Amino acid sequence: MADDTATGPILEVQDLVYSFGGLRAVNGSTFSINRGGINALIGPNGAGKTTLINVVAGALRAESGTVRFNGMDITGWQSHRVALQGLIRTFQISRELGGMTVLENMLIPPPQQSGENIFNAMFRPGMGHRQDKILVEKALARLDDFGLYDSRDQYARNLSGGQKRLLELARGVMAEPKLMVLDEPFAGVNPALIELLEGHLLKLRDSGITFVMVEHNLNVVERVCEHVVVMAEGRTLATGKLSELRKNEEVITAYLGGALTAQPKAAAVDAHVVGHAERAEPILRASGLTAGYSKVPVIQEVDVQAEPGKVVAIVGPNGAGKSTMLKSLFGLLRNSSGEVTLAGTEIAGWAAFRIARSGMAYVPQVINVFPNLSVFENLEMGGYTLKSGRQDRVAEVLDIFPDLKTARAKKGGNLSGGQRNMLGMARALMLNPKVVLVDEPTAGLSPAYTGIVWEQILRVAGLGTAVVVVEQNVDLAVNHADWVYVLVAGRNRLEGPAHEVGREDLPSIFLGGESPANLAAEPTVRSGSSP
């Protein structure tokens, strides 16, 4: 048994490395977490936060570096061994045991259940039942505390999205953890519940549990976290208090892609259009778009439009629902509602392949090429529905992307990250689409390649295509796009011509702080353009 009165940091991560294929998701991360308190792990998308959690908790095996927990080297341990030491993690998407009741879910985590031994289970059932009785009392008290008491005998799969988040936390506590690592515990949680969940975290902290949580909602971090670790590109960038980190140039650059030089104005809370600009007749128009996974809506009532030959950028803090919006536009999410018209045709509810055939293309962020197909074959697949002239079209597209021309016989899986993103875009252009949706084309790329990718995006727009780009790097978006939408917490926050949006107080939207308006949990009812 580890010594509970031990002093020193509870978690020490040293030079940790983990890669997926060629991408180093965690690249020498180093930090330590002291006993007690709630700590935050923040950073832009693709910083490697979830991967880091998975390595620390033993779900993935570190390539190099060490993880010390409670003074013990746990590097390379399997997840169940890590858990038994008192390091309990939760999951980003609620992982309730759906076919079991809420109460049974609560009874899984407690360690040292003698009834789990096969001989005790068969020949000394009283032992397990006596222990169960104590555990059930505990679990019910905890459920009561979390407002889940009345749902105790429901199958966990029938809980609402918010209740599942509560169960995820309550269940973790049943494992009697010393340290809890929470992966986005507030993702998809409505404002009323945020307050409740924060209250529970603070109470649990006071009972002696140390927390590390990955969180995108910086207002929450501001309120409950004493200590913040900022990650970017797989490394630890800075540590300290959020109020100080907010002024840290490096942190601002990591989040926004560059210090925005313009004198910021205070941002209003209602969705609104900044500046004055006429927009041309849109080719793609979406209004009132609401979508999400399972029961949790990630975006709500979002309006977006794009016009031919222009680049529209979608920016926003992590968890704003940017990627979800693209997927929803492309018919990849089942739980979508709202109107989407492409060149005047209503396409909401269509299957993805039908949308692809009617003039819209989509470049996903992660799996954007076929790894076992050559570059040439990848492009052919992009032009799958072309009746004739496919080879000519491949040649035309390769002319736009000279980098790919030389690699045309290589397998997609063997390309560099930047080349893959290029190939993803090139594949999307094969059908000569009217609209291209691009999801974070510069994530994980070196600055040099970032410029090349945006050059290509502008070139594509120059051909008369409407391009909708989700961009993590606000600086790039403001400098290259024609029109910028800012999404916050799944809703439109502001929009306008890129240079006008660039003059807004974006750091406060992204990192919170200064403007008191941002401390409100959610933007209020939007009053922007008419539906």
Name which of residues 151 to 190 contact other proteins (CB under 8 A). 153, 155, 175
CA–CA distance, 330 with 311 (Å, rounded to integer): 18
| Least spacing, CB of residue 58 vs other proteins, in Å | 8
Contact flag: residue 122 with other proteins (CB under 8 A): yes
Contact flag: residue 356 with other proteins (CB under 8 A): yes
Closest CB to other proteins among residues 236, 323:
323
483-488, strands of its sheet edge to edge: 272-273, 491-497, 483-488, 311-315, 466-470, 435-439, 360-363
Task: Candidates 202, 373, 517, 521: give the one binding other proteins (CB under 8 A).
Answer: 373
Give the footprint of other proteins on residues 320-339 (CB under 8 A).
330, 332
Closest CB to other proteins among residues 187, 369:
369
Binding residues for other proteins, total number by CB under 8 A: 74
Closest CB to other proteins among residues 202, 343:
343
Closest CB to other proteins among residues 270, 377:
377
Closest to 131 in 3D by CA, of 117, 143, 142 = 117
Contact flag: residue 144 with other proteins (CB under 8 A): yes
Closest CB to other proteins among residues 106, 489:
106
Give the footprint of other proteins on residues 57-76 (CB under 8 A).
57, 59
Closest to 188 in 3D by CA, of 165, 221, 214 = 165
| Least spacing, CB of residue 430 vs other proteins, in Å | 8
The three-state (H, E, C) secondary structure of 155-218, written as one string? EHHHCCHHHHHHHHHHHHHCCCCCEEEEECCCCCCCHHHHHHHHHHHHHHHHCCCEEEEECCCH
Per-residue x/- track, 16-35, other proteins (CB under 8 A): -----x--------------
134 three-class SS: helix
Contact flag: residue 145 with other proteins (CB under 8 A): no
Task: Give the angle 479-514-32 at the CA atoms, nearest 5°.
Answer: 90
CA–CA distance, 156 with 134 (Å, rounded to integer): 22
CB atoms within 10 A of CB 347: 20
Contact flag: residue 11 with other proteins (CB under 8 A): no
Contact flag: residue 149 with other proteins (CB under 8 A): yes
Contact flag: residue 317 with other proteins (CB under 8 A): no
CA–CA distance, 26 with 158 (Å, rounded to integer): 36
Length of the chain: 531
Q: What residues have CB less than 8 Å from 512, skipping those under 6 apart?
A: 218, 219, 221, 222, 242, 246, 518, 519
φ and ψ at 250, to 5 degrees?
-60, -40
Task: Candidates 88, 289, 296, 488: give the one binding other proteins (CB under 8 A).
Answer: 88
Give the footprint of other proteins on residues 428-457 (CB under 8 A).
431
Closest CB to other proteins among residues 300, 368:
368
The span of 33-41, 185-193, 371-379, 483-491 binding other proteins (CB under 8 A) equals 371-379
